[in-house]
């Protein structure tokens, strides 16, 4: 009995150590494999630099014709198609997880508050908020009266937040699974069902399909979307056409820099598994100067602000960094001390206003 007791005690002591060793070995193997794969990717970065300016050139080549006087004219023979079916399928497969705070969209849940702060700040700066403030607006609904379009709304994280602030919001997504989940979740909040001055509508459509209906909006938002579409240049063109004269365009995406690759793909996807592997493609990231040129050339909007946003691992929160004009939209975190170009080396926002025709 004593020998059996000793044998049982020995097994119970060594089993956890064995399991720990196996777990550590598996983690090291996975990390080493991921590190090797990412090192290979880093080695070919210089060859892969698919520039957004090339996409603009390609767009013009495919959607214009040369008139008799030598000038380029728009062509009606090449309709714009921005849908990437692989990207739609990828996000459709995760549609049930949109409203899980600890799920694959955890980082978007954490990003939503600073996104709202940025949007409110820019709409106030552009005068859109002051124009929408009526006699019956007591300040609780600062976006009351504004018609806002959220393109690529997913499960409605941003869409719902904008509607709660009093706006009339249309959420647009090419995935029917995402739209169904967004509609189900919206039914749970009384504020979104007649309890506030705003309204909320979800549509299973692409931006170009909505454009065909002749609709225009005061504000068009598309956050963390342009790096997932098939035709980013054509996408910008459509967004600009969906805006009313003097309307506001607000975008967010990721810079195509080695630092952005390190934090969004190597760390967030492969090392820390904060987002699903394969969520991002470095070659589809867009640098601020490229996006600014595209917004001005294709969307016909004047860029008013570019501002970086970073994830602070110490606080576990996203923080707005200094913009090019020195503002931080009220954020007070550690990352607010950083300004351009460091602040724009990964995730960033851009705000622009549609240029009125003379």
Task: Give the DSSP per-residue string, 207-263.
Answer: HHHHHTTT--EEEEEEES-GGGSS-HHHHHHHHHHTEEEEEEEEEEEE--SHHHIII
224 labeled binding residue: yes
330 labeled binding residue: no
Q: Which of 300, 298, 203, 288 is nearest to 251 (CA)?
A: 288
Q: Which of 252, 354, 342 is nearest to 304 (CA)?
A: 354
Pair 322, 330: CB distance under 8 Å: no
CB atoms within 10 A of CB 313: 9
Question: What is the pairing mode between strands 199-204 and 217-223?
Answer: unpaired
Question: What is the pairing mode between strands 168-173 and 147-151?
Answer: parallel
152 labeled binding residue: yes
Q: Looking at residue 23, what DSSP letter applies?
A: H
228 labeled binding residue: yes
Q: What share of the chain is helix, strand, coil (3-state, %, to 5)?
A: 45, 20, 35
Distance between CA atoms of residues 273 and 118, nearest Å: 27
173 labeled binding residue: yes
177 labeled binding residue: no
Helical spans, DSSP H, in the chain: 2-43, 45-48, 52-62, 85-92, 106-126, 128-132, 157-164, 176-186, 207-211, 232-241, 258-260, 288-297
Pair 206, 199: CB distance under 8 Å: no
Residue labelled with tokens 């309890």: 195
Residue 16 CB-half CA count within 13 A: 4
Distance between CA atoms of residues 274 and 213, nearest Å: 39
Residue 48 CB-half CA count within 13 A: 15
List residues forming the annotated binding site. Answer: 115, 152, 173, 223-224, 227-228
List residues forming the annotated binding site for S-adenosyl-L-methionine. Answer: 115, 152, 173, 223
List residues forming the annotated binding site for Mg(2+). Answer: 224, 227-228
């Amino acid at each position: 009995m004593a020998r059996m007791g000793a044998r049982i005690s020995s097994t119970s002591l060594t089993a956890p150590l064995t399991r720990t060793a196996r777990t550590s070995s598996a983690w090291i193997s996975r990390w080493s494999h991921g590190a090797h794969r990412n090192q290979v990717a880093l080695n070919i970065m210089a060859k892969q630099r698919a520039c957004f300016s090339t996409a603009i050139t390609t767009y013009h080549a495919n959607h214009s014709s040369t008139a008799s006087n030598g000038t380029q004219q728009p062509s009606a023979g090449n309709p714009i198609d921005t849908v990437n079916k692989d990207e739609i399928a990828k996000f459709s497969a995760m549609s049930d997880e949109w409203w899980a705070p600890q799920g694959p969209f955890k980082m978007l849940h954490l990003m939503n508050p600073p996104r709202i702060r940025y949007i409110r700040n820019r709409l106030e700066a552009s005068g859109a908020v002051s124009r929408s403030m009526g006699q019956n607006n007591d300040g609780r609904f600062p976006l009351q009266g504004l018609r806002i379009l959220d393109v690529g709304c997913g499960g409605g994280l941003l869409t719902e937040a904008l509607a709660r602030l009093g706006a009339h919001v249309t959420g647009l997504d090419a995935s029917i699974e995402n739209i169904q989940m967004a509609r189900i979740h919206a039914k749970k909040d009384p504020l979104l069902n007649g309890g506030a001055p705003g309204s909320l509508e979800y549509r299973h459509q692409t931006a170009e399909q909505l454009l065909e209906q002749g609709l225009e909006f005061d504000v068009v938002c598309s956050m963390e979307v342009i790096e997932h579409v098939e035709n980013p240049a054509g996408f910008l063109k459509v967004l600009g056409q969906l805006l009313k004269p003097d309307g506001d365009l607000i975008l967010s995406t990721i810079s195509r820099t080695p630092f952005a690759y390190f934090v969004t793909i190597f760390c967030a996807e492969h090392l820390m598994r904060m987002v699903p592997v394969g969520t991002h493609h470095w070659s589809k990231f867009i640098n601020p100067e490229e996006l600014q040129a595209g917004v001005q050339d294709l969307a016909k909007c004047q860029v008013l602000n570019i501002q970086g946003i970073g994830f602070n691992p110490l606080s576990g929160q996203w923080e707005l960094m200094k913009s090019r004009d020195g503002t931080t939209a009220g954020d007070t975190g550690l990352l607010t001390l950083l300004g351009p170009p460091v602040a724009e080396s990964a995730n960033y926002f851009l705000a622009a206003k549609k240029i009125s025709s003379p």
